Homo-oligomer: A and B are copies of this chain.
Amino acid sequence: MKNILGREIPDHIEGYGEVKPFEGAYVNYGNKNKIGVNVSSVAPGEQKLHHGIDSVLDNIELKDGMNISFHHHLRNGDYVLNTVVDQLARRGIKDLTIVASSIFPVHAPLVEHIKSGVVTGIYAAYMSGPVANAVSKGILKNPAIMHTHGGRARLIESGDLHIDIAFLASPSSDEYGNVNGLLGKSACGALGYAVADAEYADITVAVTDNLVEYPNAPIEISQIYVDYVAVVESIGDPKGIVSGTTQITKDPVGLKIAKMTSEVMKASGLVKDGLSFQTGAGGISLAVAAELKKIMQKENIKGSFAAGGITGYIVDMYEEGLFNALFDVQCFDLKAVESCGKNPKHQIMSSSMYGNPNNKGAVVNKLDIMILGATEVDTDFNVNVTTGSDGNIMGGSGGHSDTAAGSKLTIIVSKLVKSRLSVIKDKVTTVTTPGETVDVIVTERGIAINPMRVDLIEQLSKTHLPIKTIEELKEEAERIAGKAKPIQLEDDIVAVVEYRDGTVIDVVRKVK
């Protein structure tokens, strides 16, 4: 079977089940259902507090085949996932599916648990490091399921993915399970990716190294969703959790791309009062924000909101009055964490509010301009941020597909040639984000506009910007870097790439 993008996908995938093929980014709206939730109600006088995760596990009926969930706000500093899986392994539990919003190099110990059969399934929006390598090699029993940030909320809320136990790394909690990410040695700010887990899991465990007096206001995750509070020595390594500061690129090529991107944004007509904007924490993305800032200052433009993972740079723009509000699902640096706790219009949002296509309007729907990166782009404007050009998993959508679908103008910023390979391909190795949701590619050697956007082509043709077809860009890149050798793949599927609506947009096959 081929889906609408021409990707070869079986009707049925062993260890995954029936495949619903991707049919387009905007076809799947309408009547949806959020599933019911099991709750064990808590009477006056009942206690939730335990010392150590082991003590909580003693109170839970554990079984093989459970789905256990984690959020990734502690990023590469997270201790909670490894600790929990180790303890479950020690208790002889097998066949676990790890529902982690993202997996980082710090989660390397999972590889042994995969080999031993303790872990047989993984859901993640992003994976990098040893676990991603192990999955790419086909060591995991079932194909990993790669979803988007909004898609993860949809999976959980729709009941497509049932969570038996959610473990919430909690930078601060009181003894009744009111959690926030603002305080404590492991402070990480917004906890947007943990909300659906807390609300929908059969059992929710707040794991904290910072027990505070009741009530832990302001509350990000409420006591009404938390069954147990486990106090531990440390939930993470602050050095791995948030960057002290995020930095604008100093690379002149990156700065050139950022400047060109700002000109594209301006020419689009969207840079005006009421502008909404999102960009990532990467060096070029931040350089785009810096260019936008200059324009907004010069032209006295008051934006509506900036969204996403929030950086100190975006906080500066808010505090300067360039944006009226911030929507924050995750803080990328300490300045963002601090702002989160003090600025009344620094609004925390759940990943469902951020990007779930099944609710009554996600924040991504209100984005004007979205700046995104790419590992590969193909001549249909499909983007790969899931696999490297060697075919192995080294990332994932995160909010890539969600924001691309929602925003009025999605711009991919990238150098044309990376690691001596053309970024532009005939066909991307893996489709993460469909081309119909991508409007413009900006590289240092030219700008390609999606032919569906005739309005943009007309607007940009009036500028001095180097507009080219995507085929011209590809040829130019191949003149520099040569044509990449096709990757030799086996039939084995190591990961299923779900679009935000749960349809399968692509699969990742094992590299020969």
Contact = CB atoms under 8 A, between A and B. Distances in A.
A346 B344 CA distance: 13
Contact of A345 (B48, B218, B360): B218
B356 A224 contact: yes
Interface in A316-340: 324-325, 327
Nearest to A223: B361
A511 to B, nearest CB: 36
A202 to B, nearest CB: 10
Looking at chain A's contact residues, the main secondary structure is: loop
A214 B365 CA distance: 12
A61 B5 CA distance: 37
A45 interface: yes
Contact of A40 (B32, B213, B305, B356): B32
Contacts of A359: 39, 41-42, 224-225
Interface string A284-305: 0000000000000000000011
A97 interface: no
Interface stretch (A23-31, A132-140, A425-433): A23-31
A353 interface: yes
Interface string A345-374: 111010011001111111111100000000
B39 A32 contact: yes
A38 B33 CA distance: 5
Contact of A219 (B44, B224, B347, B406): B347
A441 interface: no
Nearest to A324: B213
Contact of A325 (B176, B217, B362, B363): B217
A307 to B, nearest CB: 9
Interface of A: 26, 29-46, 48, 159, 176-177, 204, 213-215, 217-219, 222-227, 274, 304-305, 324-325, 327, 341-342, 344-347, 349, 352-353, 356-366, 405-407
The 7 A-B pairs with the shortest beta carbon distances in the complex, nearest first, are A42-B361, A224-B359, A217-B347, A29-B43, A44-B365, A34-B37, A217-B345
11 contacts: A33-B37, A35-B36, A42-B360, A44-B364, A176-B366, A177-B361, A215-B363, A217-B344, A217-B345, A223-B361, A341-B344
